[in-house]
């Protein structure tokens, strides 16, 4: 089975409070999903998830809640950028982790070695 090209991320607008959905490239690693924000902290969806880390994710047929965070661990940042570069030919930007939440994704809650 081929992995989808895009992930759909819904954040809550930090000013409006309304749902904001984007289509974005992603990579998967250690049971989590990773995004790379080209414009780093200037990116609207990054500012939204910094204000409220509870997000909704849709990838392929799966749709689930997740917790988002900006990755600060240098080794993990390098790993995700390299994976994005391999998958898409690009990986330069701010790395964001999406950790699936809820009973259907409890097996994803283990710690990622860093």
Q: Which H helix or E strand runs over 28?
A: strand 27-29
Say yes or no to pLDDT of 107 above 70: no
Mean pLDDT (whole number) for 90-97: 93
Residue 1 lies in a domain: no
* Angstrom distance (rounded) from CA 102 to CA 100: 7
pTM of the model: 0.85
pLDDT reported for residue 3: 83
Tens-place pLDDT, residues 1-33? 678 999 999 999 999 999 999 999 999 999 999
Residue 48 lies in a domain: yes
Residue 41 lies in a domain: yes
Say yes or no to pLDDT of 114 above 50: no
**Structural domain boundaries enclosing 96:** 6-107
Mean pLDDT (whole number) for 35-43: 88
User: What is the total count of domains within the chain?
Assistant: 1
């Amino acid at each position: 089975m081929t992995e989808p090209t895009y992930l759909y991320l819904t954040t809550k607008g930090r000013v409006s409070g309304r749902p904001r959905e984007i289509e974005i490239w992603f990579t998967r690693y250690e049971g989590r999903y990773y995004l790379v924000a080209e414009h780093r902290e200037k990116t609207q969806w990054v500012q939204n998830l910094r204000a409220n880390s509870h997000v909704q994710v849709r990838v392929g047929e799966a749709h689930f809640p997740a917790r988002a965070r900006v990755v600060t661990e240098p080794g993990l940042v390098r790993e995700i950028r390299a994976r994005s570069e391999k998958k898409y030919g690009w990986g330069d930007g701010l790395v964001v982790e999406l950790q699936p939440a809820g009973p259907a994704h409890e097996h994803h809650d283990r710690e990622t070695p860093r």
